[in-house]
């Protein structure tokens, strides 16, 4: 009687084996790298012979480590079975990177992309209620998932590579114990000052005269002069102030109570009759929910605000001249611009189309801007450039070098046009900040972070292509030597990749200075809703650079600065806490990668030399010796001058000699830090 056919999932033999397992005649699991090579600490030596019989499905074992992966969106490997991913075959940023290397490599022509029947799910994550939620390519979540998938073959299973796939936290709204909380006039003024600090350079919804008029009537009153919707707007400003200050449980309860009360007012029949105050209220609701880890709710609130604004004609270029008598001067223009800024920034972080149609945007050159708000005007112009960048990067459009150079040139012209007051901040000798100082400091943080984030979005595809190409190279390959610059990627691509890393490094340096200022002053950084997303994106860039071999002290310090600021914000914000945990596991993965390279180099050295003398020194006598070095330095010191492989990568990555031979003027981007903090100015 013939034996029953074995089901595919029960088969113990693989259809192919790597070269190393074939030579050793041991069982191979057909993965890349296979378990046997990982167990023997030789993942880089795991490779497969030429293409054989086509597979019926796509998994992580297709191709070899030296081959160029397909750059089509459908070619992303699926997550290993057993753990249902929240991101189903997400479209990695590598699919949006340039294809110049693939076009110059003959092997790429024969590398057929894998087709996934679930390709429509590539841009969707699973929400807390089980619904599919759209996340675009400019968001940090696809980039994080890309790093986890692509770095796992080089380092194996770690807490970072096997971490939770859905890093987008949708926290439930805080339930206020009671919504009848009342504050004194002094308490409300203090929270409103905190509101202006948190929204500095981002929102300009209230003029000082208008706000003072609202304060005179007091929160909770509803007279004929002060409409109910204006009361709700003022309460939302108080809620944002309490959320941003985040000094304790009392502020948390206050923010939740005032938000709940204002939200009830917002939906109490007000959607039937759109008004300018309604647009302002929903912009405030969106800003609060962003800080409350409710990104989707914020996006919905922005959608309501944008539709109401279009109904009111705020998108018309001359609408600011036709203000009604009961409206404050230029209030229509201020509220419309605040909506556009928050809409672009939120959409760029989530990778979604803007809720405000692009065709309805104003020509900024033909509008009167408030000269007393230079930071707000700068963010308005920066958001317009960021919208252009996201439009080009969305929908799988492949950005080329010339387009990137044009975008960087526009960003450079914008940054050069910033007033000198936004480029430097000099704290006092005692680091004592009043509300105006805190507002000035945070608005400069917002403007500079917006600039760095825009540069990262433009250049990240080039960074991915450049670092992944170099990460796949083998120093022992006969036909590819890392020390030969001819084998490296295009110099312009390498230059744009360097711009991306430099931008992320500036963000990290900004975080370091922010942490110092927060330690020496009473600056609250409890809940910076947009800033935390920007620095998390920079942290992933820095971690990726460190993983590929960059060990410059400034990069390591900048990466630590990002982690520190996210940790502090995480004390009041669960999303930031999750970001901090992800980067901490990324740091551990980088350390494991370096240890693997160090052990491999030491084994190569041990084949030719032995340590024949070991001097045992008493522990007490060691204290009189030189300062002990770190664990990683100990590992590298035993390899007669350091990690051979890692040092080779660093030498090629940052050798200024061969980089200087290229014409860097063509990159059209002379990068400079457009915002510095002078800690010594107050001491002179």
- Model confidence band, residue 271 (pLDDT cutoffs 50, 70, 90): confident
Distances (CA, A) of 3 to 11, 554, 636: 14, 64, 56
In the prediction, which pLDDT does 428 show? 72
**Cβ atoms 329, 313 nearer than 8 A:** no
- Model confidence band, residue 348 (pLDDT cutoffs 50, 70, 90): very high
The pTM score is: 0.73
pLDDT(376) > 80: yes
Domains observed in the chain? 9-49 (4.10.240), 185-397 (no CATH), 462-619+629-683 (no CATH)
SS3 content of the chain, % helix, strand, coil (to 5): 55, 0, 40
- Model confidence band, residue 226 (pLDDT cutoffs 50, 70, 90): low
**Angle, vertex CA 471, rays to CA 135 and CA 389, nearest 5:** 35
Q: What is the mean pLDDT of the segment spanning 360-378?
A: 76
- Model confidence band, residue 212 (pLDDT cutoffs 50, 70, 90): confident
In the prediction, which pLDDT does 332 show? 87
pLDDT(592) > 80: yes
Of residues 233 and 319, more confidence is placed in: 233
**Cβ atoms 348, 386 nearer than 8 A:** yes
Could you give the CA distance from residue 198 to residue 102 in angstroms, rounded to a whole number? 46
Share of the chain above pLDDT 90, in %: 33
Of residues 321 and 415, more confidence is placed in: 415
In the prediction, which pLDDT does 109 show? 35
- Check residue 49 and give left, alpha or beta (phi > 0: left; psi -120 to 50: alpha): beta
pLDDT(143) > 80: yes
In the prediction, which pLDDT does 668 show? 36
Distances (CA, A) of 664 to 124, 486, 501, 658: 39, 16, 16, 12
Phi, psi of 512 (to 5 degrees): -60, -45
Q: What confidence tens digit (pLDDT) does each residue in 444-453 have?
A: 999 999 999 9
pLDDT(142) > 60: yes
- Average the pLDDT over each of 18-22, 38-42, 299-303, 679-683 and give the range with the smallest value: 679-683
In the prediction, which pLDDT does 304 show? 94
pLDDT(459) > 70: yes
Q: What confidence tens digit (pLDDT) does each residue in 408-417 have?
A: 999 999 999 9
Could you give the CA distance from residue 453 to residue 457 in angstroms, rounded to a whole number? 6
Which ranges of 367-434 would DSSP assign to H, the alpha helix? 374-393, 401-416
- CA torsion angle for 454, 458, 462, 467 (degrees, to 10)? 10
Respond yes or no on whether the N-terminal peptide bond of residue 558 is cis (omega within 30° of 0). Answer: no
Q: What confidence tens digit (pLDDT) does each residue in 528-582 have?
A: 889 999 999 999 999 999 999 877 788 999 999 999 999 999 888 889 999 999 9
In the prediction, which pLDDT does 278 show? 92
CA 164 to chain CA mean position, Å: 17
Q: What confidence tens digit (pLDDT) does each residue in 379-415 have?
A: 999 999 999 999 888 766 667 899 999 999 999 999 9
Q: What confidence tens digit (pLDDT) does each residue in 605-630 have?
A: 888 888 888 898 876 555 554 444 34
**Cβ atoms 370, 330 nearer than 8 A:** yes
**Cβ atoms 261, 235 nearer than 8 A:** yes
Q: Which two tokens stand for residue 211?
A: 């706000």
Q: What is the mean pLDDT of the segment spanning 426-454?
A: 87
In the prediction, which pLDDT does 298 show? 94
Could you give the CA distance from residue 38 to residue 46 in angstroms, rounded to a whole number? 9
In the prediction, which pLDDT does 91 show? 42
Q: What is the mean pLDDT of the segment spanning 339-343?
A: 95
Of residues 507 and 491, more confidence is placed in: 507
In the prediction, which pLDDT does 321 show? 64
Q: What confidence tens digit (pLDDT) does each residue in 30-48 have?
A: 877 788 887 777 776 788 8
In the prediction, which pLDDT does 517 show? 87
In the prediction, which pLDDT does 67 show? 36
Q: Which of the listed ranges 475-484, 510-519, 658-667 does the model predict with the highest average pLDDT?
A: 510-519
In the prediction, which pLDDT does 38 show? 78
pLDDT(659) > 50: no
What does pLDDT average to over the chain? 74
Q: What confidence tens digit (pLDDT) does each residue in 171-184 have?
A: 555 555 556 677 88
In the prediction, which pLDDT does 225 show? 43
Pairing of strands 676-677, 132-134: unpaired
Q: What is the mean pLDDT of the segment spanning 473-490?
A: 46
Q: What is the mean pLDDT of the segment spanning 636-646?
A: 37
In the prediction, which pLDDT does 168 show? 59
Q: What is the mean pLDDT of the segment spanning 510-522?
A: 87
Of residues 134 and 463, more confidence is placed in: 463
Of residues 523 and 674, more confidence is placed in: 523
């Amino acid at each position: 009687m013939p034996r029953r056919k074995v089901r595919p999932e029960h088969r113990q033999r693989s259809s192919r084996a790597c070269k190393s397992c074939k030579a050793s005649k041991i069982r191979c699991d057909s993965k890349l790298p296979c378990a046997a090579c990982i167990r023997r600490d030789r993942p880089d030596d795991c490779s497969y012979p030429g293409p054989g019989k086509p597979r019926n499905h796509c998994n992580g074992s297709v191709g070899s480590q030296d081959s160029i992966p397909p750059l089509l969106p459908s070619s992303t490997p699926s997550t290993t079975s057993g753990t249902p991913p929240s991101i189903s075959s997400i479209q990695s940023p590598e699919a949006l990177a340039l294809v110049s290397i693939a076009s110059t490599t003959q092997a790429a022509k024969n590398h057929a992309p894998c087709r996934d029947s679930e390709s429509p799910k590539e841009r969707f994550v699973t929400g807390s209620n089980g619904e599919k939620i759209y996340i675009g390519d400019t968001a940090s979540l696809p980039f994080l998932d890309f790093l986890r998938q692509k770095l796992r073959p080089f380092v194996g299973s770690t807490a970072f590579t096997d971490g939770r796939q859905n890093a987008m936290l949708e926290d439930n709204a805080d339930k206020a114990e009671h919504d009848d909380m009342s504050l004194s006039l002094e308490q409300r003024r203090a929270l409103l000052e905190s509101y202006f600090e948190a929204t500095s350079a981002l929102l300009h919804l209230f003029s000082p005269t208008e706000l003072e008029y609202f304060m005179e009537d007091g929160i909770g009153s509803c007279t004929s002069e002060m409409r109910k919707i204006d009361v709700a707007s003022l309460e939302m400003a108080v809620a944002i102030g309490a959320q941003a200050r985040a000094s304790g449980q009392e502020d948390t309860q206050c923010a939740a109570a005032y938000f709940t009360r204002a939200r009830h007012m917002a939906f109490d029949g007000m959607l039937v009759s759109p008004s300018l105050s309604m647009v302002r209220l929903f912009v405030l609701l969106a800003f609060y929910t962003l800080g409350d880890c409710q990104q989707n709710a914020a996006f919905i609130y922005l959608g309501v605000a944008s539709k109401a604004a279009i109904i009111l004609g705020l998108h018309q270029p001359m609408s600011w001249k036709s203000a009604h008598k009961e409206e404050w001067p230029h209030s229509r223009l201020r509220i419309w611009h605040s909506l556009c800024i928050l809409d672009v920034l939120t959409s760029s972080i989530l990778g979604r189309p803007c809720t405000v149609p692009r065709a309805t945007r104003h020509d900024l050159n033909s509008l009167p801007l408030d000269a007393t708000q230079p930071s707000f005007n700068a963010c308005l112009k920066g958001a317009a450039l960021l919208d252009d960048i996201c439009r080009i990067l969305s929908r799988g459009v492949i950005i080329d070098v010339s387009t990137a150079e044009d975008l960087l040139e526009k960003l450079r012209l914008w940054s050069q046009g910033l007033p000198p007051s936004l480029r430097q901040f000099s704290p006092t000798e005692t680091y004592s900040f009043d509300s105006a100082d805190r507002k000035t400091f945070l608005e400069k943080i917002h403007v500079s972070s917006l600039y760095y984030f825009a540069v990262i979005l433009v250049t990240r595809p080039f960074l991915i292509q450049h670092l992944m190409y170099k990460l796949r190279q083998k120093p022992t390959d006969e036909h590819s030597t890392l020390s030969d610059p001819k084998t490296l990627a295009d110099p312009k691509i390498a230059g744009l990749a360097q711009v991306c890393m430099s931008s992320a490094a500036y963000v990290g340096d900004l975080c370091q200075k922010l942490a110092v200022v927060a330690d020496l002053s009473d600056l609250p950084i409890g809940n910076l809703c947009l800033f935390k997303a920007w620095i998390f994106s920079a942290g992933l860039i820095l971690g990726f650079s460190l993983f590929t071999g960059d060990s410059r002290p400034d990069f390591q310090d900048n990466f630590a600065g990002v982690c520190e600021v996210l940790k502090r914000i995480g004390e009041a914000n669960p999303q930031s806490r999750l970001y901090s945990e992800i980067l901490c596991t990324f740091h551990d993965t980088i350390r494991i990668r370096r240890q693997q390279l160090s052990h491999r180099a030491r084994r190569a050295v041990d084949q030719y030399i032995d340590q024949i003398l070991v001097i045992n020194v008493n522990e007490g006598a060691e204290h009189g010796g030189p300062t002990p070095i770190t664990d990683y330095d100990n590992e590298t010191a035993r390899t007669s001058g350091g990690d051979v492989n890692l040092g080779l990568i660093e030498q090629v990555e940052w050798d200024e000699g061969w980089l200087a031979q290229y014409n860097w003027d063509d990159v059209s981007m002379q990068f400079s830090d457009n915002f510095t903090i002078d800690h010594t100015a107050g001491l002179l």
